[in-house]
Amino acid sequence: MAVHSTDLDFQEAARHVQEGSWKDASKILERMLAENPDHRAAIMPLLEDVRMKAGIRTRGTGGRTAFSLLLTRKRISYALIILLVLVLAFGGWGVYTRLVMPAQQQQQERSLIESLIAQGRVALGGANYVVAAELFEQVLDRKPDSTEAEKGYKESQRQIELATAYDEALQLLEQGEIDAALEGLRAIQTASPGYKDVAKQIDQIQNQGRLGGLFVQAENHFQAQRWEKAIPLFAEIRQSNQGFKSAEVEDHLYESYVNLASYRAGLSGQSAAEVDEIAQLYKLALSLRPKDRDSRLRTQMINQFSEAGILMELGRFSDAIFMLDELYKAAPDLLGGDPIEHLYTSRLGYGRQLEDSGDYWSALAQYTAAQDLPVKDASEARLRVRATSLALTPTPTPTPVPTATPTPDPFKSYLAGLPPAPSPIENYPGWIAFKSDRPNGSRDNLWVMSPDGSQQLPVNDPEQRYDFLKYQARWTNDNMRRIWVESDGTDVSIAIYMWRYDIPVHWLDARVELLNNSAINYQPALSPDNNAIVFTSQRNDGPLGTNYGDEIFVLYFSEFNADGYVTAHRLTKNDWEWDKHPTFSPDGRSIAFWSNRDTGRAQIWQMNADGSNQRNLSNNEWNDWDPVYIVPFREIPELERDGQMAPVFDPNKFEGNK
């Protein structure tokens, strides 16, 4: 029954009750009960009440039943009110359940669908296709006729399938299944042109197929040492920027450059253009490995040979001699010995120029030097030596000089009566020489002691051997390298350098920076085996970044990295005290130095090479400083005479204060 008709029946029944038309009211309620059996609990009590009032039930013998006597007007009014409330409640519930509630549910469903669609759009736009598909699928479950949800679901599924196919293709590519990967990528490109980097991947695969063929050819030439044919193939692969076997290609290209350049650099009789090509090959190798010192040196030597050739063409033989003589000493086999042949030719040319100027003696010197060179044919130089010798005036026979009679020395007898002077320093090999302010010493305040600190004696040093030992300790045993310190101009940073005398002074790596730690470093000394340098440093690694005194450090050549630097190891550690002037023992196992620790006086100390077992050797009330182990003296070459201008040695610079 409709809610509206039920409300009208209640209103009509109520009107009959108010008018006292109990039978009419009873009929309406009976009809309502028949039409609405579900509401029997609400209608039946009213119906029975009306029936009683209408006299339908059995009456008592006195004409009215006891129950009817209870139906007063007041009670009837209460019943009518209850009936009205029931009618209103029943009607309102029907309206809510049949109209309002369904409308609310429909609105909530529409809002949920709109929200799911909006979330699906966001997920789709963010390439989160799995989530988007799930959201659109939820919409279709609620509203199967949603066009937008169906469209979004299909697009999400399509993107999922494309992504899956793309990942599978890349996986096949990684596994080396190139053909299968290429087929999958092409299918993706057909289904979705422009999808991700599919086109680029296809191009790379196709290109790498071509590069693979080039690589096989290049490797065959490389293994067969056909460098000239391998180089353009490796270079083409590298220039493709495809990353195809990049490490292997670069290594083999570098080796091909160097091997071809080295092969050609061993050939003689090459033209200027061919020599330039050799230099270019070394430069190309350096473009791959800029820190390769051997290639840099080779490049410089080839360039220097070319420059010497230009000087020869210009008739500047003296300048060419200087450059070619450097090459001859540094690399006699360069270009199959052509620098020697050019040096021979330059000396002959310069000799002729000297002859033309009338300087026969200088010309003879050039011809003589030329004939001593290991060239294939030195006959012309020998001929010029004989010819120039004949042109010179014969040397006169010298007049004999009478033997001079020695004049008696007036101080000889006086000196003979003096007490014996201290022995010279060279009489104490293996001992430690040092300076001291103790009395009764030598004129130079120079003393020596045995390595254990005993037998402390004064010595003389008429040949200045003490200073020479400090200088000698900075040279390698073969006199080919020297260690020195140099300031950057501020005296705040003093670095340690090595000068190489086995190559020309103006070449790269002739001057090598070994240590630059933004601190003052000085007093370096090489170990006897030339594998380490011990030195004094003011590196700021003390408390709060400060250092109140000098300390002893050591660095090892075996620890140098590719850039030529190494972290030095600190051997001593003090607060304000000084540790200075280290010197290696002849066996390299210990280091002597001086320190003002403990007593505040300068004393000679010794420690093991690793910094352990530090102990006071001199241990006296005087000041002793600047120890040097006495080792065999050797001659240090004066390389400045050969044009190798080494840094000027200043024994007092950066020596510190005692």
Question: pLDDT for 129-187, tens place per residue?
Answer: 888 888 888 888 888 888 888 888 988 888 898 889 988 888 887 776 777 887 888 89
Q: Which of 32-36, 134-138, 589-593 has the lowest mean pLDDT?
A: 32-36
577 occurs within a structural domain? yes
Element (H, E) at 117: helix 101-125
Residue 529 has pLDDT above 80, yes or no: yes
135 occurs within a structural domain? no
Contact 580, 523 (CB under 8 A): yes
Q: Structure tokens of 472?
A: 């000698």
Residue 411 has pLDDT above 50, yes or no: no
Query: For the domain that residue 614 is a member of, what is the CATH number?
Result: 2.120.10
| Closest alpha carbon to 589 in 392, 477, 430 | 430
634 occurs within a structural domain? yes
Residues of the chain with pLDDT > 70, as a percent, come to 80
Across 470-477, average pLDDT: 92
Q: What is the CA radius of gyration of the chain?
A: 56
Residue with tokens 């697009």: 155
Strand order, beta sheet including 457-458: 457-458, 446-449, 432-436, 624-629
| Closest alpha carbon to 274 in 255, 260, 254 | 260
pLDDT band, residue 435 (cuts 50/70/90): very high
Strands 569-570, 551-556: pairing kind: antiparallel
Q: How far is residue 42's CA from residue 88's CA, in Å, rounded to a whole number?
A: 12
Give the range with max mean pLDDT: 209-223, 259-273, 531-545: 259-273
Residue with tokens 């609620």: 142
Residue 345 has pLDDT above 90, yes or no: yes
| Closest alpha carbon to 301 in 55, 503, 453, 555 | 503
pLDDT band, residue 586 (cuts 50/70/90): very high
228 occurs within a structural domain? no
pLDDT band, residue 57 (cuts 50/70/90): very low
| Longest CA pairwise span in the chain (Å) | 199
Across 109-127, average pLDDT: 84
Across 89-104, average pLDDT: 67
Q: Structure tokens of 521?
A: 């470093």
Residue 604 has pLDDT above 90, yes or no: yes
Q: How far is residue 200's CA from residue 208's CA, in Å, rounded to a whole number?
A: 12
pLDDT given for residue 564 in this prediction:
64
Provide the number of structural domains found in the chain.
2
Q: How far is residue 144's CA from residue 138's CA, in Å, rounded to a whole number?
A: 10
Contact 45, 125 (CB under 8 A): no
pLDDT given for residue 649 in this prediction:
36
pLDDT given for residue 290 in this prediction:
83
Higher pLDDT, 552 or 240: 552
Q: Answer with the one of 86, 112, 138 that is the final residue of a domain.
A: 112
Contact 492, 472 (CB under 8 A): no
Give the range with max mean pLDDT: 230-244, 371-385, 504-518: 371-385
pLDDT given for residue 419 in this prediction:
43
Q: How far is residue 84's CA from residue 92's CA, in Å, rounded to a whole number?
A: 12
Which residues lie below 8 Å from residue 632, measured CB to CB, with a gap of 6+? 429
Q: Report the Cα 456 to chain-centroid distance in Å.
A: 54
Residue 655 has pLDDT above 60, yes or no: no
Other C-beta atoms lying within 10 Å of the C-beta of residue 529: 11
Residue 88 has pLDDT above 70, yes or no: no
pLDDT given for residue 100 in this prediction:
65
| Closest alpha carbon to 219 in 207, 208, 232, 230 | 230
Q: How far is residue 255's CA from residue 21's CA, in Å, rounded to a whole number?
A: 124
Q: How far is residue 652's CA from residue 648's CA, in Å, rounded to a whole number?
A: 12
Contact 628, 649 (CB under 8 A): no
Partner residues linked to 606 by β-bridges: 592, 615
Q: How far is residue 541's CA from residue 381's CA, in Å, rounded to a whole number?
A: 64
pLDDT given for residue 95 in this prediction:
61
pLDDT band, residue 393 (cuts 50/70/90): low
636 occurs within a structural domain? yes
Q: How far is residue 474's CA from residue 526's CA, in Å, rounded to a whole number?
A: 6
pLDDT band, residue 348 (cuts 50/70/90): very high
Q: Answer with the one of 59, 87, 112 that is the final residue of a domain.
A: 112
pLDDT given for residue 512 in this prediction:
83
pLDDT band, residue 540 (cuts 50/70/90): low
Other C-beta atoms lying within 10 Å of the C-beta of residue 434: 26
Other C-beta atoms lying within 10 Å of the C-beta of residue 552: 25
Q: How far is residue 377's CA from residue 363's CA, in Å, rounded to a whole number?
A: 19
Higher pLDDT, 6 or 239: 239
Residue type, 239: Q
| Closest alpha carbon to 515 in 533, 529, 492 | 533
**What is the residue range of 630's domain?**
432-642
Q: Answer with the one of 70, 87, 112 that is the final residue of a domain.
A: 112
Residue type, 49: D
Backbone conformation region of residue 626, classed left if phi is above 0, alpha if psi is from -120 to 50, else beta: left
pLDDT given for residue 552 in this prediction:
94
- Determine the Cα angle at 551 with ends 608 and 588, to 5°: 25
Residue 644 has pLDDT above 60, yes or no: no
Q: Structure tokens of 489?
A: 């101009």
What is the tens place of the pLDDT at every residue in 269-326?
888 889 899 989 988 988 888 878 888 888 888 888 998 999 999 999 988 998 888 8
pLDDT given for residue 76 in this prediction:
65
Q: Report the Cα 452 to chain-centroid distance in Å.
A: 48
pLDDT given for residue 75 in this prediction:
64
Residue type, 652: N
What is the tens place of the pLDDT at every residue in 225-252?
998 999 998 888 888 766 677 888 889 9
564 occurs within a structural domain? yes
Across 544-571, average pLDDT: 76
pLDDT given for residue 128 in this prediction:
86
pLDDT given for residue 129 in this prediction:
86
CA distance readout (Å), 47 to 14, 242, 309? 12, 97, 138
What is the rounded average pLDDT for all residues in the chain? 80
Residue 482 has pLDDT above 80, yes or no: yes
Element (H, E) at 270: none
- Determine the Cα angle at 91 with ends 90 and 93, to 5°: 70
pLDDT given for residue 658 in this prediction:
39
pLDDT given for residue 124 in this prediction:
80
Residue type, 507: W
End-to-end CA distance of the chain: 123
Residue 33 has pLDDT above 50, yes or no: yes
Contact 619, 594 (CB under 8 A): no
Other C-beta atoms lying within 10 Å of the C-beta of residue 262: 17
| Closest alpha carbon to 463 in 413, 510, 425 | 425
3-state secondary structure of 30: helix
pLDDT band, residue 415 (cuts 50/70/90): very low
Q: How far is residue 326's CA from residue 323's CA, in Å, rounded to a whole number?
A: 5
390 occurs within a structural domain? no
Q: Report the Cα 117 to chain-centroid distance in Å.
A: 50
Other C-beta atoms lying within 10 Å of the C-beta of residue 353: 17
447 occurs within a structural domain? yes
